A = this chain, B = another copy of it.
């Protein structure tokens, strides 16, 4: 544990420097990392292909997304809207006199980031959590994912190079491969660790959450832990285009061998000819899908065993399977169906089967669909396929669905998570441990910040963002009014 202790102390010491740097310096570092990732060329793609079984095009796309994230959060960092600047000026005539108070978000300190296996670039070493933490002014300690250690090492080296190029202390970013659960726990409970970002399984995420909350001083954990991302099919919309909807569902279920956190694992419709037609077309679509290798043996085995367990449940019937593969790691697309009563009675069927699998639930009527919506666990996303009239006429269903998710999609699919300010990627437990924060989009920076109020400070001593002059033109709320101008003292 001595190494972990030394590492966290180094991260803390580096934070004393990094927290003082202007936002433009942080942004420069992030852009340098983005350029460095691109400069790694095909070499890093080959390493990642070997370690993850993901195809070249997907990995190149993911690297581009990772660089985009870094630049996008660098822009947001400089734009400063995440600083949540609030200024209330003094009123010395009031009885009692009112002091000048100004508030902004400040970094928390060293952030521990767990790399995710399904996104070796975008949610690993230089991924979204690292980018958000650096934008916030926090130092970062990455625990590499054991499924892609070489990819993680190469990206870590790229970050260190960027730090040197920018003239920053190297300990702003530290990278560690741990072997044991005890080491993981030591990182979470270390007094210098101020927050944790994680994407992975519920078992691991909940352990981290528990460790963090059992500390003498609990720390925030943002753990994203899986989701079945239900799709609700309303009858009128289905009668318009059951085949078209089935086609985009088949694509979303099998995209990336079903290894996305927003993969739709549950489709809920009302029995009738529209749903029959949907299931036929979905089956046709799935049967044409070739098997493809999954990320690693653990994920492929878990897919097989969770799928078998689901298919073994009473009243569950297989609707269709994709083309089967020849390799051990191959995941074969599979869809099954069950009626609403059996689904409601069996909690196992509510669980995520991580991979290209989805379960179609046939509800007796709209009332049963509402009961299923109300009983769902928290989700990253819910999707509704419905006409405008149907949505408008089912307020209770829409409220129940909204209540169970972080993103509500109309007539689209949940896969494809846009990196933008309006994105919320997070949701009620167990999809994440804190439904109040997102891990995608620049609002994710806030996960690693907290507010600090300055009362009665001289203008010269205030942080630049709160000074009267507002030299960077930040958006600030001044005496309850939004303003991008200076404060007239």
Q: Which residues of A contact B (CB under 8 A)?
A: 16, 19-20, 75-76, 79, 81, 84, 86-88, 96, 98-99, 101-103, 106, 108-109, 209-210, 213, 217-218, 220, 377-378, 388, 391-392, 395-396, 399, 402-403, 405-412, 416, 418, 420-424, 426, 428-430, 433-436, 438, 443, 446, 449-458, 460-461, 475, 477, 480, 482, 484
Contacts and interface: CB of A to CB of B under 8 A. Distances in A.
Nearest to A411: B456
B429 A451 contact: no
Contacts of A86: 421-422, 443
Contact of A81 (B76, B108, B457, B477): B477
A160 to B, nearest CB: 25
A416 to B, nearest CB: 7
A451 B406 contact: yes
16 contacts: A16-B399, A20-B399, A86-B421, A88-B420, A102-B422, A209-B213, A218-B433, A407-B453, A407-B455, A408-B453, A408-B457, A410-B454, A410-B458, A421-B480, A435-B450, A482-B482
A410 B453 contact: no
Main SS class of interface, A: mixed
Given A388-B461, A480-B79, A88 B453 contact: no
A433 B455 CA distance: 23
A454 B409 CA distance: 6
Contacts of A446: 436
B420 A101 contact: yes
Given A99-B418, A424-B453, A430 B217 contact: yes
Given A416-B96, A418-B98, A443 B451 contact: yes
Contact of A436 (B220, B392, B403, B407): B220
Contacts of A213: 209-210, 213, 218
A438 to B, nearest CB: 6
A412 B79 contact: no
Contacts of A430: 217
A219 to B, nearest CB: 8
A193 to B, nearest CB: 13
